[in-house]
Structure 1
């Protein structure tokens, strides 16, 4: 049975229930498959990270995601620094509604490293990026 709280990311189009706020629909629209972690920061109640998405055929883009009212679960600063140093790639990504009315962005980095960001709103900034930013793992 389909969970109505669940939204999956699909390349090239907005997905998920139409009742999602526009900012969350923007997040769901980003194809993070095999995106590499470039950097991250925590300031106050926000968590930000930048991921290099895309490939040589489609082109690359930097997706800067800033979650407001954020709590990051299943990770710590040292592990996030390691993810940047290792050019860790996204294996899975999904956005679900949380029981408190907010959202969770559930990301699994290769090989099997889960990160959950609970948030109330998100700012998504996307910009084209040169291919040379993709690091060989």
Structure 2
């Protein structure tokens, strides 16, 4: 993350340094609003804090994911972001990142216009990790969601995690000591 690191989120920066980060990013956001395409500008208004990943697909240079965003006060919605001309980092096995596991959420995000003409969307994950998406275009689709959707996702992924843990324990018991 260029601006909003775990140190910034956890308050491990001096107040002056954290304020400088805020000022620098707000200046950058004003520049984005002046020159970026409307869909990228719309991303600035999308609060991804605590978003859950409900699924993702990569096909060619397209990357799409479905996120559940919001909170009890603001309400919930599903947001599907489809990035074109996308390069997704890290270039790892995304299943190994376990983005849809319980407790994995987007902690923060930032946008940056790159010298190459692409836009970088950086996401800080909880409890750890980062995902960067460099893209040329983005489409945003929304649909209503409820708190029950958020809780159900946590319940389903918790059950899945429990199954994996039970299988690991069973395998471990079968190994010679």
1:65 alignment partner in structure 2 = 81
Q: How much is the aligned-residue C-alpha RMSD, in angstroms?
A: 2.3
Q: Which residue of structure 2 lines up, in the alignment, with residue 12 of structure 1?
A: none
- Report which structure shows greater RCO (CA 8 Å, sep ≥6): 1
Partners of 1:3 and 1:112 lie apart in 2 by 22
Unaligned stretches of 5+ residues in structure 1:
9-14
Query: Closer, same or farther in 2 for the Cα pair 1:26/1:77, shift >3 Å?
Result: same
Unaligned ranges ≥5, structure 2: 1-19, 159-177
Bigger helix share: 2
Is the partner of 1:17 in helix, strand or coil? helix
Q: Which has the larger radius of gyration?
A: 2
| Structure 1: distance between partners of 2:96 and 2:79 | 20
Determine the C-alpha separation between the residues in 1 that align with 2:103 and 2:80.
16
Q: Which is strand-richer, 1 or 2?
A: 1
Which of 73, 95, 100 is the equivalent residue of 1:78?
95
Moved more, 82-91 or 22-31: 82-91
Mapped partners of 2:102, 2:28: distance in 1: 30
- Normalised by the size of structure 1, how large is the TM-score? 0.83
The number of residues matched between the two structures is 130
| SS in structure 2 of the partner of residue 108 of structure 1 | strand
Q: Distance in 1 between matches of 2:112 and 2:27?
A: 5
Deviations for 1:45-81, whole angstroms, at most 9, x for unmatched residues? Answer: 100011100012211010100100001012432234x
Q: How does 1:9-48 map to 2 (within 5 A)?
A: 16-48=32-64
